[in-house]
Structure formats: C-alpha cells, structure tokens
Structure 1
C-alpha cells in the first residue's frame, strides 16, 4: 500500500466552512487529487487541554466551539463516523505515553470539520481526533508526530489543522488578504525550515518574530506533528498553499507525500462577521 499523504491546513476563520474562496477551493482540490484514505486522524488547534486523548466514539458530534457567528454556521453538521478500533490502535502506537480514550466528551471541533467540509464533503470517511496536551513542551508534540508515522502505511491520513501565525489581538478583520511584515517574515522562516530540515523547527522559537506570531501555543502545535512525521520518515515537507489573512493569520498549508502543486497568495479568505470580537470568537 502506498504511504498515505499527511497535511497541515491553515484553517483561519470558521466562516471558511461556508465560503468558496481561494483557500477553500485549494482544499477541495486536495481532496479531489489525493488518494482516498480509509480513515483520518485529525489534530486540531481547538482541542487543547491538559491531557493527551483520542476520540473513541462511533458517532462523533459536530461541536460548534465558537461565538458570535451566523446561525447557518451553528447549524452546520459534519456527520462523519468515528472509529473506536483506530482510537485503540493509536493508544498502542503512542505507548508508553499515556493516551486517554474519550468516548463522550469532545467529538469533532471546527478546526477539523471546517477543513474536512471541503476536503471530503461527503463525510463518509471515519475520523478520530487527537488532543493537544497543553501541559507538555514543544518537543513532546514533535515526538508524538514521529510515533504516529507508521499509521500512514496503513491508509490513515494525518490531518493537522492550525495556523503557523495566529495573533488575534493584532487582527485587522476587514482586510482578508493582508499579511503584516512580521507575519510574513516568520511564515517565510518556518517554510524554509520545514522544507530544509523539519526536525530542527524548534530553533525558530528564537526567531525575533516568534512572540508576535505565536502568542499562544495552540495553533502552532499542529505543525510540529507534521515536522515529527517528516523527520521520522526522512522527508521534507512541501508547501502547498502560501498566503495570509487579516494581517496576523497565516493560511499556509503543507503536505507530506502529497505531490500537490503550490498555490501562492490565493485571495479572499473568510473574515469574521461584523461585530464579532476576534478574541471572543475562538477562531
């Protein structure tokens, strides 16, 4: 069986779920181009809490974990099946690190379903989600990425969803295609590192723009899993989308064994609705 592709998607605003724009059009093209996986392991910035856990329910709910958005978004449903057996396999794969089996608490959040709505809109591929352990250092997450690498030889797509640059305090919501200079500098440095030597991505914590680009770890952590995958399998990550939104959000996407042509500076990433405070949106 050929090795299944892995992806990191810069997901941006939850409104991307409902819009067809330069970014969501690219995500749709990925789903149409890549061989269909038999299951998906999603790693979302929005399941960030004090433990490592994996969803283990047969029918995960669609969680609407945000505030102030239109009713149409709260009504959106992504009814993909879960896979309790795969959840158990992930627990075994990550040992001796402890991983909890979540059978009734979290389900699928918008970091996962806002992307899958375009990648696989039929929602007929089993999806399990792995949490980001907020108590652990950056290198722990890279190591988990390495441990998960063998799943790709079994038809499982690893889908990480976050934003390499994610600063809601600096966001300029009415400029969907803007990238501040500091955001572009850090994004460029990350891209160079991921293409050249992903195992050393943590050297960028010393970058002069790191504090502005990554004021909180949650949206940065998912890319560390792809860096771990790439370093374990001695591969380089491929940039497949480069672009920015609202000044302080990177919409960059990366693939591993994806063989997708780069799309640079797509336009019109979804914004926040008027009157929604970025810091209260859980974007």
Structure 2
C-alpha cells in the first residue's frame, strides 16, 4: 500500500469523541439463542453505546502464532463448538468486514499481519448479534498470539489506543474466570449464580484491582490468589480483558455489568470503560 492510499484510508476514519471500550464475559455459545439476563444486558448495551463506525473484537477463540487481523470484505460466521442444538449452527451474523480498518491497524501495529481465512468466531458473533442485531456495522477481529505472555498483549493493545478517537469500538470477549474442567451446574440451570469460594474471591479481587487501575497486578495475575491457576488454567479467555484495560485513560470510569459467577468456575463479569 502506498502512503497516498494509506492516508486516504486514515482520513475515512476522521477524529471523533473518545469511544468507550468494552470487555464482555461471553459464557456458553447458547447465549446466542437464549433469552436470559446476560443477553438482556447485551441488548441494553447496544442502545447505550454511541454507534461506532466499525468494531475491532479480540476474541478468546482465535489463537495464532503471531498476531493477525481479518481483512476480508464479508467475514464468515464460524461455528467453533461441538454438541449443541442445530438451531445454534444455523445462526449467521452477516456483518461486513472493513479492509480500511484492517489496513490502519496493520500500519500502526507493526507486529500485525492480514488474515483472509478466519472470519467471526462465536466469541464475537454470539455477543454482537445481541448488541447490534442488524449486523450493519463493519467488524474486524484481532487474533491472540498464543506464544506471547500477558505483558506482551497489554503493550500491543496500547498501540491500538488511537482507534478510540476514530469512532472504532474495541471489544474484548472472554471470561475473567474460565475453567471448563471444573464446571458444575446447580439446579439444572447453567446460568444460575453458583461458584466455588475461590471463584467468588477472585472475581472480587479482579474487580477491585480494575477499580484501582492496578493493571500491573492484573497482568501478573498468577500472584493475586492461591487459586489463580484454577481460575485461569490457560490465559486465552483472560487476555481480552488486558486488551481493554490497556486502552483505559487514567481516571476513566469503569462500570461493571453481568457481574455473576456461574457453573462453579465461570465468571460472566463484564465492564465498560468510558
């Protein structure tokens, strides 16, 4: 791409008031088709947020070697799960991509390369279909480099801060606490508030550190609690939170929503920074 072409793309994203940033605890893929309290909050979120020009989503479900950004005109809907009802596999989220946004991200963050194969996995579309059901806002996904640690991801995310003043909504989709091997359903309802003591304790610790803007403690999460490794046995669902925290300006307000521990070892706790 020539400098003239890049300049034209950047100008298509003129300066705007600073956009909020959002971390969503996405939970089970069934949230895509269920009518529950978490979905209701996602619906409400869509009516509260300023309408963005485009969305950049960091999903726990796209891990790669290196960092990639989707660069196709029409990203496919990926059904990256098994054993669920047919209705879930019939879901489509037909939002367009944005090659302009992809090019701007790649230019500003030298570690990023284009991807033309992925699309939108359920970490993105199962949430976005409730926030923006018309699928009329371009969506681009950024992958998580599986081979890099939390501090690397936090620092990479800081390079994306300029997007907030370009009308781009950045969403991280994962779960602060995510241990599927220890999931335990209470009373037959996956979404009932129920958790191990350590899950509730860690959920509160995470929220307190976020309110204190103590990002260093959250980057080095393994030292926050004796059971941190139970809460985060693998980091891919936690890392999207770090991307969102890295985009926070000092003193910005944090508002939590869907603040529940469910199924023993899963936190739906989500937040908006604005």
SS of the equivalent of 1:101 reads strand
Q: Distance in 2 between matches of 1:198 and 1:27?
A: 27
Which of 127, 132, 136 is the matching residue for 2:139? Answer: 127
Deviation at 1:2, TM superposition (A): 1.6
Which of 240, 245, 252 is the matching residue for 2:257? Answer: 240
Which residue does 2:85 correspond to in 1? 70
Which residue does 1:102 correspond to in 2? 115
Q: Does 1:250 pair with 2:267?
A: yes
Q: Does 1:229 pair with 2:247?
A: yes
Moved more, 142-151 or 193-202: 193-202
Which residue does 1:193 correspond to in 2? 209
Q: Give 1 or 2 for the bigger CA radius of gyration.
A: 2
Q: Distance in 1 between matches of 2:48 and 2:229?
A: 36
Which residue does 1:270 correspond to in 2? none
**Residues 105-116 of structure 1 mapped to structure 2, 5 A cutoff:** 105-116=117-128
Which residue does 2:236 correspond to in 1? 218
Q: Distance in 2 between matches of 1:152 and 1:243?
A: 28
Deviation at 1:236, TM superposition (A): 5.1
User: Any stretches of 5+ residues in structure 1 without a counterpart?
Assistant: 258-283
Q: Distance in 1 between matches of 2:210 and 2:258?
A: 14
Contact 2:79 2:89 in 1 (8 A): yes
Which residue does 2:96 correspond to in 1? 81
1:15-46 Cα distance to aligned partner (Å, 9 max, x none): 00001111110010000111111100000000
Deviation at 1:76, TM superposition (A): 0.1
Q: Distance in 1 between matches of 2:253 and 2:159?
A: 17
Deviation at 1:233, TM superposition (A): 5.3
Q: Distance in 2 between matches of 1:184 and 1:50?
A: 33
Which residue does 1:23 correspond to in 2? 38
Q: Using a 3 Å threshold, how does the CA distance of structure 1 residues 52 and 171 change in structure 2: closer, same or farther?
A: same
Which residue does 2:178 correspond to in 1? 166
Q: Distance in 2 between matches of 1:198 and 1:125?
A: 33
Contact 1:107 1:129 in 2 (8 A): yes
Which residue does 1:281 correspond to in 2? none
Contact 2:150 2:220 in 1 (8 A): no
Which of 38, 63, 73 is the matching residue for 2:53? Answer: 38
User: Any stretches of 5+ residues in structure 2 without a counterpart?
Assistant: 1-15
Contact 2:65 2:147 in 1 (8 A): yes
Q: Using a 3 Å threshold, how does the CA distance of structure 1 residues 198 and 113 change in structure 2: closer, same or farther?
A: farther
Which residue does 2:10 correspond to in 1? none
Q: Distance in 2 between matches of 1:24 and 1:172?
A: 21
Deviation at 1:247, TM superposition (A): 1.0
Contact 2:63 2:144 in 1 (8 A): yes
Contact 2:260 2:269 in 1 (8 A): yes
Q: Does 1:180 pair with 2:196?
A: yes
Q: Distance in 2 between matches of 1:161 and 1:63?
A: 15
CA RMSD across the alignment: 1.3
Flag as ranges the 4+ runs of structure 1 deviating above 4 A.
Answer: none
